[in-house]
Copies of this chain bind each other. A is one copy, B any other.
């Protein structure tokens, strides 16, 4: 519709606009279709204007990923707190994770697509990613303290749980889930807590010596 050409400099927050436009493009056509030139021209800006705000293309993608981790962390913390922690909060957190991925697939794909390999030392991305993971670790601490979860090494347990929701999230995004996502969330939560072996009527589990070998 013949967007009027701006001969003035880009007014507001170009950095933010570039980020949004990149996310929008990835959402619509995939990350491989993202070109800096098109992002610029969509915004009525020169194709090199972007370099005033991002070092290069991978820096733009790193910014997308960092934003994604920040949004994810907020969702996770919110889900935990609004449900008062505990088993309820844990379930809500898992659901929030998967729903975030489904709601923001382009962010999610960039976050875990390996586009951000080398750029991850001491950057905003690393910080935000670590903070999101920490939100889960904190929840696990609390659940262990309250005797709800096993007293495994918290980091190992967090990794176990994160890997699972990550796998579900990726399948959901890729359209590989055969059941509705809410059903998968429910099933996953239940089986994650209780395991997948046949439910014994008498006793719970064989005796795996009360304490696991430390370290």
Which residue numbers of A lie inside 8 Å of B, CB to CB?
30, 32, 109, 112-115, 117, 141, 145, 147-157, 159-168, 170-171, 174, 177-179, 183-184, 187-188, 190-199, 201, 203-205, 207-215
Partner pick for A167 among B162, B177, B195, B204, CB 8 A cutoff: B162
| Cα distance A171–B165 in the bound complex, in angstroms | 12
Which B residues are in CB contact (< 8 Å) with A32?
A: 115
Q: Judge whether A114 and B192 touch: CB under 8 Å.
A: no
Q: Judge whether A197 and B150 touch: CB under 8 Å.
A: yes
A203 nearest in chain B by CB position: B201
A171 nearest in chain B by CB position: B163
Q: Judge whether B197 and A208 touch: CB under 8 Å.
A: no
Which B residues are in CB contact (< 8 Å) with A199?
A: 150, 204-205, 208
Given contacts A165-B167, A179-B156, A195-B194, is CB(A147)–CB(B213) below 8 Å? no
A-B contact pairs, 25 of them (CB 8 A): A30-B117, A113-B113, A141-B212, A147-B205, A148-B197, A148-B198, A149-B198, A151-B198, A151-B207, A156-B178, A156-B179, A156-B183, A157-B191, A159-B171, A159-B178, A160-B188, A162-B167, A162-B171, A165-B167, A166-B167, A170-B170, A192-B195, A193-B197, A194-B195, A199-B208
